């Protein structure tokens, strides 16, 4: 999710100022609770799966063939152990799990039927991205993540919300990628520098921009936001820089531009890649430290003291090179394919937002009193399908699919209806594609100037952890750009 330009596989004693107590962690396989009929409040909890273990209801049994899976609420620098699974639908000894080199051998020994990726089975070999469903009881997602999350460096701890809930800026998620994003946004806000947010359509770049403003020293002023795609090339200069009276013809009124409106605050331009190179070039002077610009038709030089936050879904090399060079802070906003474990939490909060808009939906599909503890009645197969769907518009697409489910469900629970099923496409192309060669990996890293996240996307891999494992296997040394 973030720019991984300084990682290295070189070994050694390290510099004397490095903290030896924080060694680089090799991500390991975990289970994440994605749905639970009897314990919905546990969605988002994780459990390590890097050693032989068993999963079942209640406390360990003397007859257990291995240690019992232990779920935790994992947050930066804090890991809280949860109690045992309590669902009566899960057997006391339900699954026996044996880790292999890069997979998990899972065998069902309990009475609750097992489904892997939606298909019934009694035994299966699992890898990252697979789903385990214990019919009508529990859905688990297999993910790869560090055993502990590093401490926050720049995000204020007083803004951290309850586990699984949206934070003060509307960011939802407990994945390592979402915590890294929060920290990246906090650092960008604290720096006071211009920021370029990049990520695919629908990932939440505007939420990131608003978080940067709210976390910055300019938070007391109004954020000025505009979609750059609405700025026609012929009028973009006047809308950005403003015009003096009687320019370009008599009778034209004086008009301040967006730069003047945002003076002392933050200017957010979404879809900045839609600006022509000519307009990008015109903005470069104001993006320099002086912040100088001129209204159209004016000889007076003005100065805007602002933070410029831009967002784009385009590859950065499609923007004018010396324009992007002015953004000293760059933050990648990860898509759902990079943080699938956040999807169940997003489902819950998007449905809560829908219920607030339509009380009839709340009455029909939700149980419990209004508030954070209220939960929608969800079909486990809908959650399982949404976990494995290949997203192209990410959170925006997830919200659309949920509204489709709400509109087509005939009972009192949100179901995997034929209409929703027709929209779902399983994200399994990466798994079936051939593994990239050492040469292809080296070429992708070179083209991405050492940025592991960009190289991961270029190679079509599931996430950057897959690329890290391939780098380690081939003995490739990452170098800083």
Question: For 208, phi and psi rounded to 5 degrees?
Answer: -60, -40
Q: Residue for token digits 């505009």?
A: 226
What pLDDT, on a 0 to 100 scale, did the predictor assign at position 24?
61
Could you tell me which residues are beta bridge partners of residue 35? 139
Region for 14 from its dihedrals, namely left if φ exceeds 0, alpha if ψ lies in -120 to 50, beta otherwise: left
For the chain, residues with pLDDT lower than 50 are: 1-14, 20-21, 429-432, 481
What pLDDT, on a 0 to 100 scale, did the predictor assign at position 10?
37
357-365 LR contacts (CB < 8 Å, sep 24+): 361/406, 364/412, 365/406, 365/409, 365/412, 365/413, 365/414
Cβ–Cβ < 8 Å for 336, 398: yes
Short-list 376, 327, 51, 281, CA closest to 188: 327
Rounded to whole angstroms, the Cα distance separating 292 from 270 reads 22
Contacts of 206 (CB under 8 A, 6+ apart): 225, 268, 270, 311
Assess if residue 32 is contained within a domain. no
What pLDDT, on a 0 to 100 scale, did the predictor assign at position 462?
65
Could you tell me which residues are beta bridge partners of residue 81? 72
Cβ atoms < 10 Å from Cβ of 459: 20
Assess if residue 277 is contained within a domain. yes
Short-list 381, 377, 382, 375, CA closest to 402: 382
Assess if residue 7 is contained within a domain. no
What pLDDT, on a 0 to 100 scale, did the predictor assign at position 247?
76
What pLDDT, on a 0 to 100 scale, did the predictor assign at position 12?
40
CATH number of the structural domain spanning residue 254? 3.40.50.300
Question: For 23, phi and psi rounded to 5 degrees?
Answer: -70, 155
Assess if residue 1 is contained within a domain. no
Residue at which a domain ends, from 279, 306, 327 = 327
User: Does one domain contain both 323 and 435?
Assistant: no
User: Does one domain contain both 203 and 321?
Assistant: yes
Rounded to whole angstroms, the Cα distance separating 457 from 454 reads 5
Q: Tell me the pLDDT tens digit for each residue of 129-174.
A: 999 999 999 999 999 999 999 999 999 999 999 999 999 999 999 9
Q: Strand 53-55 to strand 224-227: parallel, antiparallel, or no bridges (unpaired)?
A: unpaired
How many folded domains does the chain comprise? Answer: 2
Assess if residue 446 is contained within a domain. yes
Assess if residue 80 is contained within a domain. no
What pLDDT, on a 0 to 100 scale, did the predictor assign at position 111?
96
Assess if residue 156 is contained within a domain. no
Assess if residue 135 is contained within a domain. no
Residue at which a domain ends, from 293, 327, 361 = 327
Contacts of 431 (CB under 8 A, 6+ apart): 127, 129, 462
Short-list 240, 374, 246, CA closest to 294: 240
What pLDDT, on a 0 to 100 scale, did the predictor assign at position 178?
97
Q: Which domain holds residue 277?
A: 194-327
Taking each helix axis from N to C end, the angle separating 343-357 and 380-388, rounded to the nearest 10 degrees, works out to 120
Rounded to whole angstroms, the Cα distance separating 39 from 253 reads 63
Residue at which a domain ends, from 298, 327, 356 = 327
What pLDDT, on a 0 to 100 scale, did the predictor assign at position 448?
81
């Amino acid at each position: 999710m973030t720019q991984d330009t300084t990682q290295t596989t070189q070994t050694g004693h390290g510099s004397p100022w490095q903290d030896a107590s924080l060694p680089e962690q090799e991500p390991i396989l975990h289970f994440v609770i994605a749905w639970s009929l009897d314990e919905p409040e546990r969605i988002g909890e994780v459990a390590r799966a890097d050693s032989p273990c068993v999963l079942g209801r209640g406390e360990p049994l003397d007859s257990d063939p291995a240690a019992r899976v232990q779920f935790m609420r994992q947050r930066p620098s804090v890991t809280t152990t949860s109690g045992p699974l309590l669902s009566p639908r899960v057997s006391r000894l339900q699954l026996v799990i044996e880790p292999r080199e890069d997979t998990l051998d899972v065998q069902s020994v309990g009475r609750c039927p097992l489904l892997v990726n939606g298909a019934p089975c009694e035994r299966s070999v699992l890898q990252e991205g697979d789903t385990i469903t214990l019919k009508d009881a529990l859905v688990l997602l297999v993910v790869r993540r560090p055993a502990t999350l590093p401490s926050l460096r720049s995000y204020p701890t007083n803004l951290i919300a309850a586990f699984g809930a949206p934070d003060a800026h509307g960011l939802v998620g407990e994945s390592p990628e979402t915590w890294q994003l929060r920290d990246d946004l906090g650092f960008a806000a604290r720096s006071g520098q211009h920021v370029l947010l990049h990520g695919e359509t629908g990932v939440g770049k505007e939420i990131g921009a608003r978080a940067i403003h709210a976390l910055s020293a300019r938070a007391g002023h109004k954020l000025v936001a505009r979609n750059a795609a609405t700025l026609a090339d012929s009028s973009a200069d006047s809308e950005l820089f403003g015009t003096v009276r009687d320019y370009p013809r008599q009778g034209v009124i004086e008009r301040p531009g967006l730069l003047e409106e945002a003076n002392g605050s933050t200017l957010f331009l979404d879809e900045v890649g839609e600006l022509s190179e000519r307009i990008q070039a015109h903005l470069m002077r104001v993006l320099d430290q002086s912040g100088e610009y001129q209204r159209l038709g004016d000889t007076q030089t003005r100065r805007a003291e602002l933070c410029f936050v831009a967002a784009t879904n385009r590859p950065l090399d499609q923007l004018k090179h010396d324009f992007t060079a002015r953004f000293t802070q760059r933050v990648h906003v990860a898509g759902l394919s990079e943080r699938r474990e956040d999807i169940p939490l997003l489902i819950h909060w998007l449905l809560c937002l829908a219920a607030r808009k339509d009380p009839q939906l709340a009455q029909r599909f939700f149980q419990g009193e209004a508030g954070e503890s209220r939960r929608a009645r969800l079909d486990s197969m809908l959650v399982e399908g949404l976990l494995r769907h290949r997203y192209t518009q990410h959170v925006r697409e997830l919200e659309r699919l949920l509204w489709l489910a709400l509109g087509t469900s005939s009972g009192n629970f949100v179901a995997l209806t034929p209409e929703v099923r027709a929209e779902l496409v399983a994200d399994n192309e990466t798994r079936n594609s051939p593994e990239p060669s050492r040469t292809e990996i080296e070429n992708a890293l070179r083209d991405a100037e050492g940025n592991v996240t960009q190289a991961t996307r270029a190679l079509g891999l599931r996430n950057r952890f897959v690329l890290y494992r391939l780098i380690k296997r081939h003995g490739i040394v990452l170098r800083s750009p």
